[in-house]
């Protein structure tokens, strides 16, 4: 075949390129080897140009195995195919800067699955921190029930569903961020409360073990759990009746100190410092110089700060002339309102010369108040 070709020699009578007409053209031939004229694309017969010649002409690799009627899917699969080479870009894919994204993923890992596993997390553990901005929640559950987040000032663990938040372990510590223990719970054992790392309260199989003092409403608990105890007495004897006994009263100051706030007294009317169940006791010492004489001593209570009713009666008496007799009684008062519930002590003598006996150092005629519990 000559080095120069006339286009007319390449076409058949219909104007189509003859089969094999372009084969075996020497590599040194250039565009001048073809005389003037063009070849319409529509006039090139199928398989008229072999693949390797077309590849050489456009200086591009054609995927191995491209044959007649092969579609672009085989060279660049969109679905169901596999790419066998790398794809690079100096721009973006679908608006995303892949180069930047890839840099993030490959900072400490080699694949996206290793950086953020979707399934089978045990096979691809995360090796970096998962960081949320303020008010961005970690949400768990189909009903977004469990939420963990920070609002910029405080941190929250919220169970917002209908269930409960369960924190389970055989040994649980609630601690300051530095490791200082505030609360500890041991399975089948004690629940413990701490103050500044010092254990103050622990439950036991029989009750509670407390280290240090216990105060209730600002008052220290005495041994046995009594929070209020007070005692008053008559310091000067007097003859005849009194309703109430209103003068010569003092708080017991002989080897005694009240527990808690104590009672207050005005003109023989005693007011309670707090609500609760109170035991009120009255002991009476009587002097009489008449045979078969007696006296009646009463504890009276009001619940409306007005009308007093007797709650306890003590009768003292004698069968001989010029002698002493005594009596004792108590009652429980439910103090539901410290403004209205009050108590007083009365005495009625069978003879006007009979005396309620008293002393400033001894409890001859005296009143005792103990708070037993809450109302």
Give residue limits of the domains in the chain.
131-165, 171-212, 229-373
Confidence of residue 24 (pLDDT cuts 50, 70, 90): low
The count of other CB atoms within 10 Å of the CB of residue 243 is 14
**In this predicted model, which residue has the larger pLDDT, 24 or 361?**
361
Residue 194, CA distances (Å) to 167, 187, 198, 210, 325 in order:
20, 18, 5, 11, 56
Neighbours of 227 (CB within 10 A): 24
Report d(CA 294, CA 368) in Å as an integer: 23
Q: What whole-number distance in Å separates Cα of residue 239 and Cα of residue 349?
A: 8
To the nearest 10°, the Cα dihedral for 271, 275, 281, 282?
A: 20
SS3 101: helix
Taking the C-alpha atoms of residue 282 and residue 298, their distance in angstroms, rounded to an integer, is: 8
Looking from the CA of 29 toward its CB, the CA atoms found within 13 Å total 17
pLDDT at 224: 57
**Rounded CA separation 135/149 (Å):** 6
pLDDT digits (tens, 9 = 90+) for 91-121: 776 666 665 554 444 444 444 444 455 555 5
Q: What is the pLDDT at residue 85? A: 73
Could you tell me the pLDDT band of residue 324, with boundaries at 50, 70 and 90? Answer: confident
pTM of the model: 0.46
Q: Is the pLDDT of residue 59 over 50?
A: no
pLDDT at 103: 46
Q: For the segment 119-160, what is each residue's pLDDT rounded down to a tens digit?
A: 555 566 777 788 899 999 999 998 899 999 999 999 999 999
Helix (H, G, I), strand (E, B) or coil at 27: coil
| List of residues 6+ apart from 127 with CB closer than 8 A | 108, 109, 114
pLDDT at 21: 66
Structure confidence at residue 200 (pLDDT): 93
Q: Cis peptide before 364, with omega less than 30 degrees from 0?
A: no
Domain 229-373 has CATH 2.60.120.40: yes
Tell which residue, 187, 268, 273, 162, has the closest CA to residue 228: 273
| DSSP tally for the chain: helices H, then strands E | 5, 22
Q: Which pLDDT score is estimated for 211?
A: 86
pLDDT in tens, 260-295: 999 999 999 999 999 999 999 999 999 887 776 889
What is the dihedral sign for C-alpha 63, 67, 68, 72?
negative
CA–CA distance, 86 with 117 (Å, rounded to integer): 23
């Amino acid at each position: 075949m000559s080095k120069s070709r006339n286009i007319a020699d390449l076409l058949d009578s219909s104007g189509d390129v003859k089969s094999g007409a372009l084969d075996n053209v020497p590599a040194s031939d250039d565009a001048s080897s073809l005389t003037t004229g063009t070849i319409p694309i529509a006039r090139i017969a199928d398989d008229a140009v072999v693949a390797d010649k077309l590849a050489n002409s456009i200086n591009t690799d054609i995927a191995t195995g491209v044959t007649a009627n092969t579609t672009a899917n085989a060279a660049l699969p969109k679905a169901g195919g596999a790419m066998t080479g790398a794809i690079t870009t100096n721009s973006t894919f679908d608006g995303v800067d892949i180069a930047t994204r890839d840099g993030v993923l490959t900072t400490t890992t080699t694949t996206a699955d290793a950086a953020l596993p979707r399934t089978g997390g045990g096979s691809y553990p995360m090796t970096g921190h998962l960081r949320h901005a303020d008010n961005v929640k970690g949400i768990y559950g189909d009903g977004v029930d469990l939420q963990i987040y920070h609002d910029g000032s405080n941190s929250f663990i919220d169970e917002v569903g209908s269930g409960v938040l369960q924190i389970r372990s055989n040994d649980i510590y609630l601690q300051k961020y530095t490791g200082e223990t505030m609360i500890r719970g041991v399975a089948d054992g004690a629940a413990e409360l701490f103050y500044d790392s010092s254990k103050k309260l622990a439950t036991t199989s029989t009750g509670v073990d407390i280290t240090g003092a216990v105060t209730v409403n600002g008052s220290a608990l005495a041994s046995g759990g009594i929070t209020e105890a007070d005692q008053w007495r008559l310091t000067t004897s007097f003859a005849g009746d009194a309703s109430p006994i209103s003068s010569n009263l003092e708080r017991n100051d002989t080897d005694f100190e009240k527990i808690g706030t104590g009672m207050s007294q005005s003109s023989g009317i005693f007011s309670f410092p707090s609500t609760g169940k109170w035991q009120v006791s009255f002991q009476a010492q009587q002097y009489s110089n008449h045979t078969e004489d007696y006296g009646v001593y009463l504890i009276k209570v009001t619940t409306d700060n007005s009308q007093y009713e007797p709650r306890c009666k003590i009768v003292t008496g004698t069968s001989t002339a010029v002698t002493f007799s005594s009596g004792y009684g108590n009652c429980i008062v439910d103090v539901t309102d410290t403004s209205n519930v009050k108590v007083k002590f009365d005495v009625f003598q069978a003879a006007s010369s009979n005396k309620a006996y008293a002393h400033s150092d001894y409890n001859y005629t005296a009143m005792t108040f103990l708070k037993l519990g809450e109302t």
